[in-house]
Amino acid sequence: MSRIIHTKYKDLKGLTKREIDEQFKDPNSDLAALAKKSSLKKKVLNGRKQKIAE
C-alpha cells in the first residue's frame, strides 16, 4: 500500500493568516496533511539511510 498524500503547498498559497490558523486547529485540513506528509518523508529517508549504512 502506498503512502501518497495528494496535498501540495500550492493548496495553501493565498490563504490569510486567519484561514491558516483555522487549518492549524483542524486535524483534517490541508495543513495537517502536509505535516503528516513531511514526517513520513523524513521517516522514509532515515530508514533508507540506515539500510545503506548497514
Domain membership flag for residue 23: yes
User: What pTM does this model have?
Assistant: 0.68
pLDDT for 5-21, tens place per residue? Answer: 677 778 788 889 999 99
Domain membership flag for residue 27: yes
Confidence of residue 3 (pLDDT cuts 50, 70, 90): low
Q: How far is CA 4 from CA 11, 12, 34, in A?
A: 16, 18, 11
Domain membership flag for residue 34: yes
Q: Is 15 exposed, middle or buried (0-12, 13-18, 19+ CB in 10 A)?
A: middle
DSSP SS3 for 20: helix
Cell of 40: 513520513
Domain membership flag for residue 1: no
The residue range of the domain holding 30 is 9-53
Helical (H) or strand (E) element with 23? helix 17-25
Residue 45 is predicted with a pLDDT of 92
Domain membership flag for residue 4: no
Overall number of domains in the chain: 1
Domain membership flag for residue 2: no
